[in-house]
Structure formats: C-alpha cells, structure tokens
Amino acid sequence: MTTSAPAGVVLDEFSYDDDIVRKFLFATLIWGTVGMVVGLLIALQLANPAFNLGLEFTSFGRLRPLHTNAVIFAFAGNAFFCGAYYSTQRLLKARMFSDGLSRFHFWGWQLIIVAAALTLPLGLTQAKEYAELEWPIDLAIAVVWVAFAWNFMGTILRRRERHLYVAIWFYIASIVTVAVLHIFNNLSLPAGAFKSYSLYAGVQDAFMQWWYGHNAVAFFLTTPFLGLMYYFMPKAAEGPVFSYRLSILHFWSLVFLYIWAGPHHLHYTALPEWASTLGMLFSVMLWAPSWGGMINGLLTLRGGWQKVVDDPILKFFVVGITAYGMSTFEGPMLSVKSVNALAHYTDWIIAHVHTGALGWNGFLTFGMIYWLAPRLFQAPLHSKKAASLHFWIATFGIILYVVAIYSAGVTQGLMWRAFDETGRLTYPDFVETVLRLMPMYWVRVAGGSLYIAGMLIFSWNIVQTWRKRPARYDVPVVRAAALRAPEPSQAAPSPGLLGGLAFHRRWERMPVLFTVLVTVAVAIASLAEIIPTFLIKSNVPTIASVKPYTPLELYGRDMYIREGCVNCHSQMIRPLRYETERYGEYSKPGESVYEHPFLWGSRRIGPDLAREGGKYPNLWHVRHFANPRELSPRSIMPAYPHFATAPIDFDVLARRVDAMAMLGVPYGEAVTNAIPMARAQAAEIAADIEATGGPAGLADREIVAIVAYMQRIGRDIATTGTVASRGTAP
Amino acid sequence: MKLSDVLGHADLSIYAEIGLVLFILAFLGIVWWVFRPGAGARWRSDAQMPLDDEHPQQPRDRKD
C-alpha cells in the first residue's frame, strides 16, 4: 500500500466535497422515517380498515405506492447517493466534476420526492408498480438522473487513479441501467397534465413493467448497494475485500444475468411460456454470483470476526450482507414455477422484499451512516450504546415482521388451493382466507414499529453527533499525485500474447468504453427478450370478440387506476384448477390487447377481478363501494362513499378517448362522440340502480362509471355468469 | 408484409443455442481475464484503493 507519495512526484492540491454527502445523509434520515411511517400506516390499514381514516387521500390503494416509492427512491436512493458521493471522490482521488451539478442533483431529487408525496395521495398514478409517478415527474427524474450521470462521468474522466475500483463499476452499471429502464418503461401518451396511458398494452405492458420492476430491484437496490458494500465493508473492517477476483466475477455475472430475470414475476399469466421459462432459468443462475458476492462481503472480515462483538457498524454490515444472501437465495427459489404457483399473489412476496429492504438496504445504510457520521461531522459518534440498541431492536423487528408475513403468505396460498374430499374449494369465501391472516398482520405492525423505533434512535443519534460538530468544518487539503507524463516503456506495447495485452490495458483505462460494454450487455438481453414478444404474432393471439371499453367504462377504469385498486386486486386468472374454480375462466393474452396500462396486479389482498363483470347486480356494487362491510361484514376493503357524490368530469373523456385511439385502440365513432355516449350509458345504469331499489340521481356521479367498468371486466369472451345490465359497447 | 409477419414465420429456435454458446464464451472470457497469469499484482493493488483516501495506487498517465 502506498502510504506517501514517492519523492519527486508533482502533487495536485484539492479537497473532497463532503457538504453534498452531508446533505444526502440528512435526506436519507428524513425520507427513511417518512417512508417507514407510511408503511406502518398501511400495515395498520390491513389489520383494521378504520385506519383508512375515511379520506379518499389516505386509502390503502393510494398510500401503498407512496410507501414503496418513498422507501425505494427516497430512503434507499438518498442513501446510495450519500455513499456514492463520499466513496467516488476518494476512489478516484478527485473532487466531483461540478459542485453545481451535485447540488442540482440533490435539490432536484428532493423536489421529485415532494412531488411524489403530493401526487400519489391525490390519485395521480400510472398504475405500474414502482413507476407510478405521472409523466411530468418522470421527465424531471430523467433530467436529474442525466445531471447525476454527467457529474459522475466527468469525475471519472478527471480521476487521478488509473484503475476504476469495482465499486465504481457497480455505480456505473446502476446509473446506466436505471436510465434505460426508466425511459423505456415510462413511455406513455399524455392525456392531460397529470394523466397518461402507457404506450404498451396487455402482455407487452406487463413484460415491460416487470423487465423494469425486477431490474429496479436489481439496479436500484442491489448493484448500488453492492458498490457501497465493496467500499464501506473494507473501510469498516480495515482491510481489503476478501477476493478482488471474485468481486469482478460477481459484477459481470450480475450485469449479464439480472436483466433477463423479470418475467419470473409473470409465471402462469398470459405471458408466453418461453419468456416465463427464460426468466426462471436466468433467475436460478443468479444464485451463484449473488452468493459469491455475499461470501466475498462476509469474508472481508477474515481474521477480524472478534471486532463484530464491539462494533455496531460491523454488526449492521454482517446482518445486512447476510440478508442479501437470504433474499438472493429466496429470489431464485421463488422464480421456480412450481414454488411461484403457491407464492404468487400472496404475502410471501411481501416478506421476501422486506428481508431484502429492511435487512440488506436498511442495515447497509445504517452501518454506512454510523461509519460516515463521525467523519462527516468531525465529532465522535454520540452514543455507541444507542447504536447497538438500534441494531438489536431493528433485528428483532425484522424477524417479527418476516416470520409473521412468511407464515401469512404460505397460509393464504395453501388456503386458496385447498380442495375438500368432494373436489370443491375448502374456503370458497375469499374473506375467510384474509381473516386468517389478521394475527400475523398485527405481529407485522409490532415488528414494523420496532424497526421504526430503531430508525428514530438512529436519527436521534446522528443528529446529536451533528450537534457536536465544530463551528467550521475542517476541509482537509488532499495532495495526490498529478497526472504523469507517460513512461516510454508503456508507450510501445511489448510483443507476446495478443500484443502483450496492450489493447486490454487501454480498454480498462477507458471508462467510456466500459460503460458502453455494460450498456451492450444490458441492451442485448433486453432486446432479445422483449422484441419477440412485440413482433411475433403467435405470442399474443388476438380474439375477435374483444372490444375496447366504452367511454364511460374507460372513465371507470381510470378511477380504478386513480384509487390504486390494482394494489389489492389482480385481474389475471392463472390456468390452475383452484384459480378457475374460484374466479372463472383463465385470462387469455388476447383479452388485454387494449389494456393501456395492463392491470394484472401482483398481490391479492382482495379477490381477483378478471371475471367480475356480471357477477353481481349494479346495486350490489353501489352498496359495496359505499361500505364494503355492509355486504361482506369482515372485509378489509376501504369504503368509497365519495363515489356517490363526486360528479363525473365528462369533459376529460374526449381527450382520453382520443389518446387511446392514438395508441391504436379502435374506438371508431366514439372518438367524436365520447361524451354523449358516456352520458347515455350513465343514464341507463343510473335508471337500473333506481329501478332495483337503489338511490336516485346517480346519472352524473362517479359511481356509475366505476360500476360500468366493474360490469364489463372479463365479459368479452363467452363465460358463464349472471347477466347484469350493461351499456352498449362501441 | 409487416415485420411481425416476417419474424412470426422465421424459425428463431437456433438463436437459443447461439445465445448459449455466446454466453458461455463471454463467461469463460471473463474468467480468463480475471485469472490470467500476471493479473494478481493488479488485483492486489486495486483492492487497496478504498483504504487510502489520498494516494492513488497507480497514478494515471496524462495519455490514459
């Protein structure tokens, strides 16, 4: 190790920008607390629907995306930026390329988070998981991300270190891939200031979404944090990583494999089988590099395990990296189709992501910030005891949370598929399978509360450390070797195997080329998987009887999107006997060709709705939305009494139908006639509600639009079911 | 004839085998690069990078 510069070397003088690191650190504390508290609130809502607070802005469907976006992009995002700005400058021996871009990145990102926190409760959403934010915010994300990438690449080009440490590779891969994922999944056609429709429909939209969704996990929650691990673990353990060779294999294997894994979110759905199989195989292959990485992280402590006893930072790292191993063991297992048949749509998946998020992302962040705080605030950590307490409370909280929710998932999955000796469903009433989970849901509330208590102790500890900071931060001047003139021996490559690998040495020194290679690896995988689904006709056979929604049904569908119904209700019946017995004929790819965006869902907190149309009379829906517990006494669904009072905004329909028609949905005469058609259908449904004994005067109220939509779902192919009145299709 | 018709009639099954071979070659290439003779010194010096905040392990040439 070089401890001092050799004599006679010219030294550059500069300083690292730690102010930006402190900014991101505080943002991590604030948004982490907010995101987790929202998580606790929605956990309470599932245990008791009274916690929906009777407000449309605080119902589960609107707050769940707020929780996921806050903890992923605000908490984990700011934590990644915090660690990346600290480590990048030191690994490259260079100050960030532009202080202005750093600040633009920071404030831009915080504004985006505020915009998300305002728009999601208002019901402005694209309905795609982790990509809910509407198009103006998506544009802002793209601009801020480009500023970050520009700043980062600029720093790399001005670096004083010849090689790029493996953490920097992970950062580059994350930055590039997140940009690609974000742009392609969010391509949509605006139909208003905060309303848009996905460019893709049905199977293709589902494919794009989970190509994005899984890789958001891979390239926003995994590779950035692996970069942090490869930097901060050696720092905390005071020794180099166990095997640098293994870290390189870890990196390239993840980059090559991860991007293919997305379709495992769509097993047994209308996605073509080959894509599903491909997703499963690549997920199973991920076992090897993920565990290689975990072992590499843990063994960095080789010979120093006794330090874990005294050091809360190492405790957090060891449990965090172990959680990475646990969740990356479980992920490939869940991607195996037969396991997935049980786990999909259940809480098992929720438990899986919380092992990863609370254990891996949370604990790595906590360990990193405990390590950073004394260095950034130039004062000793306020209380090591409190840090240890935080560790034990949070660990206990995670265990309570995941044990409860794993058992909830398996319980509900087994109940859904149980048949009695006569071959009928043992639990035909869906709500029965929900009520069985209530004890587990309360244990989750307890576990989550402990984790948040830990987060509060953590924040208090860090703020107390900050309060002990000096009046002015000391900004050390770094004296690092300036760029040298090339040595003659290196100018002429020596002959030998492949020209003495001179070509290779040049490659390694070219970050631009490295970035191109990563992009190529990601692009090849994406294109090979996605293009056939779009272009090969046999993948999405069309069905002649499937017609677009009427304008009023489209309005109802937009309400379904606005309220976040998709967070609890799937619309995708798998071709498995226990599903078709419970819900009806399985969903065909051709049924969702006009679904911009797809609403297949990923979790059944309530029953599947793919064949809901015609199951109940209109009046049943009117009463059920007003108060679900009036018809299903122990239902946990939020009430939507405002549907009966809020007026339908007929004027937006022209623009929305127009946008749909531009996306290729054959609306025909409805394009010019949307509003009168919607009014006519609304009057028809309102008349039926009144005739069957319901309230009068609903013809211009939102309730008729959502009822129109509910009655239409899954009716375009011949299935059995009660016939309820419904409007005329275009 | 649309692109989707062309692709729909093309037999793409051979691409899976080609892909398999390419992936294995890429993987073997990376393994070779990592374990190639003489690389050990570089990995040892690269692994030290996080441990020194001030001094580059290998200062860059101006031409790099």
Write out pLDDT tens, residues A71-119. Answer: 999 999 999 999 999 999 999 999 999 999 999 999 999 999 999 999 9
Could you say which of 1.20.210.10, 1.10.645.10, 1.20.1260.10, 1.10.1380.10 is the CATH number of the domain covering A18-467?
A: 1.20.210.10
- Alpha helices of A306-362 — where are they, by DSSP H? 307-310, 312-335, 337-343, 347-354
B53 touches chain A (CB under 8 A): yes
Task: Say if residue A720's pLDDT is above 80.
Answer: no
For chain A, give every domain's residue range: 18-467, 551-712
Between the CA of residue A424 and those of A250, A418, A578, what are the distances in Å? 49, 8, 9
Is the CB of residue A35 less than 8 Å from the CB of residue A65? no
Pairwise CA distance, residues A575 & B63, whole Å: 62
Instruction: Judge whether B56 lies within some domain.
Output: no
Per-residue pLDDT band for A726 (boundaries 50, 70, 90) equals: very low
Tell me whether residue B62 is in a domain: no
Question: If contacts are CB pairs under 8 Å, which of residues 414-433 in chain A contact chain B?
Answer: none
Q: What is the mean pLDDT of chain A?
A: 91
> Is pLDDT of A393 > 90?
yes
Res. A482: pLDDT tops 70? yes
Q: Do B60 and A483 touch (CB under 8 A)?
A: yes
Secondary structure (3-state) at A197: strand
Q: Which residues of B touch A160 (CB under 8 A)?
A: 56, 59-60
- For B43, which of A16, A245, A487 is closest by C-beta distance? A245
Q: Which residues pair with A188 in a beta bridge?
A: A198
CB A533 within 8 A of CB A207: yes
Q: Answer whether residue A622 shows pLDDT above 80.
A: yes
Tokens of A102: 């750093």
Which chain A positions have a beta carbon within 8 Å of B4's beta carbon? 534-537
Q: Per residue in A255-283, pLDDT tens? A: 989 989 999 999 999 999 999 999 999 99
Asked if A277 is an interface residue toward chain B (Cβ–Cβ < 8 A), one would say no
Cα–Cα distance list, A374 to A368, A460, A466 (Å):
11, 14, 8
Hey, is the C-beta of A468 within 8 angstroms of any chain B C-beta?
no
Q: Does B51 contact A235 at a Cβ distance shorter than 8 Å?
A: yes
Query: What is the nearest CA distance from A532 to chain B, expressed in angstroms?
Result: 8
Model pLDDT for residues A230-262, shown as the tens digit of each residue: 999 999 999 999 999 999 999 999 998 998 999
- Cβ(A564)–Cβ(A60) below 8 Å: yes
- Element (H or E) spanning A112, and its range? helix A99-119
pLDDT tens by residue, A630-657: 999 999 999 999 999 999 999 999 999 9
- What is A551-712's CATH number? 1.10.760.10
Contact A64, A605 (CB under 8 A): no
- Interface probe with A: pick from B5, B42, B46, B62, most Cβ of A within 10 Å: B46
Measured between CA atoms, how close is B14 to chain A, in angstroms? 13
Q: Taking CB atoms and an 8 Å cutoff, what residues of chain B touch A253?
A: 27
Q: Are A269 and A210 in contact (CB under 8 A)?
A: no
Report CA-CA distances (Å) from A648 to A214, A356, A475: 36, 42, 60
Q: A354 versus B15: which is more confidently predicted?
A: A354
Please check whether residue B63 touches A, CB under 8 A: yes
- To which residue do tokens 């910030």 refer? A369
* C-alpha A630: how far from chain center: 35
Contact B50 A234 (CB under 8 A): yes
Provide the pLDDT for residue A507. 54
Q: What is the DSSP string of A673-703?
A: HHHHHHHHHHHHHHHHHHHTT--S--TTBHH
pLDDT band, residue A501 (cuts 50/70/90): low
For chain A, say whether B32 makes contact (Cβ under 8 Å): no
Q: Maximum distance among all alpha carbons in chain A?
A: 96
pTM: 0.92
Maximum mean pLDDT: which of A108-122, A302-316, A487-501: A108-122
- With a cut of 90, say whether residue A514 has pLDDT above it: no
Asked if the model's pLDDT at residue A727 lies above 50, the reply is: no
**Chain A residues near residue B47 by CB distance under 8 angstroms:** 234, 240-241, 244
Query: Does the pLDDT value for residue A556 go beyond 70?
Result: yes
Which helix or strand (DSSP H or E) is residue A196 part of?
A: strand A196-198
> In chain A, what residues touch B17 (CB-CB under 8 Å)?
none
Which residue in the block uniquely carries the two structure tokens 């795609």? A128
The pLDDT of residue A92 is 95
- The C-alpha atoms of residue A264 and residue A215 are separated, in whole angstroms, by 12
Tokens of A279: 């997703």
Nearest-neighbour CA in chain A from B31: distance (Å): 7
Beta-carbon separation of A535 and B3 below 8 A: yes
Alpha carbon of A377: minimum distance to chain B alpha carbons (Å): 17
pLDDT digits (tens, 9 = 90+) for A685-713: 999 999 999 999 999 999 999 999 999 99
CB contact under 8 A, A252 and B19: no
Helix (H, G, I), strand (E, B) or coil at A195: coil
Q: What's the rounded mean pLDDT across residues A201-223? A: 93
- What pLDDT, on the 0 to 100 scale, is given for residue A722? 40
Average pLDDT value for residue range A154-180: 93
- What confidence score (pLDDT) does residue A3 get? 44
Residue A695: per-residue pLDDT: 94
pLDDT at A495: 46
pLDDT band (50, 70, 90) for residue A483: confident
Q: Say yes or no for a CB contact (<8 Å) between B46 and A166.
A: yes
Structure-block tokens of residue A694: 């319901």
Q: How confident is the model at residue A480 (pLDDT cuts 50, 70, 90)?
A: confident
- Look at residue A485 in the predicted model and tell me its pLDDT: 60
Residue A509 has what pLDDT?
A: 58
Per-residue pLDDT at A520: 84
Note whether A249 contacts B57, CB cutoff 8 Å.
no
Residue ranges making up the domain that contains B39: 3-51
- Report the run of H or E that residue A625 belongs to, with start and end: helix A618-626
B60 and A484 within 8 Å at the Cβ level: the answer is yes
Find the radius of gyration of the CA atoms of chain A.
27
pLDDT at B63: 58
Q: What is the pLDDT of residue A728?
A: 39
For position B11, what pLDDT does the model report? 74
DSSP per-residue codes, A485-533 = PPPHHHHS---SGGGGGHHHHHHHT-HHHHHHHHHHHHHHHHHHHHHHH
C-alpha closest to that of A265 among A606, A609, A598: A598
Tell me if B44 and A244 make a contact (CB, 8 A cut-off). yes
pLDDT for position B1: 64
What is the complex's ipTM, to 2 decimals?
Answer: 0.91
Find residues 11-30 of chain B whose CB sits inside 8 Å of chain A.
Answer: 12, 15, 19, 23, 26-27, 30
A537 closest CB neighbour out of B4, B15, B57:
B4
Query: What is the nearest CA distance from B62 to chain A, expressed in angstroms?
Result: 5
Q: Is residue B13 part of a domain?
A: yes
What percentage of residues in chain A have a pLDDT greater than 90? 83
Overall number of domains in chain B: 1
pLDDT on residue A479: 86
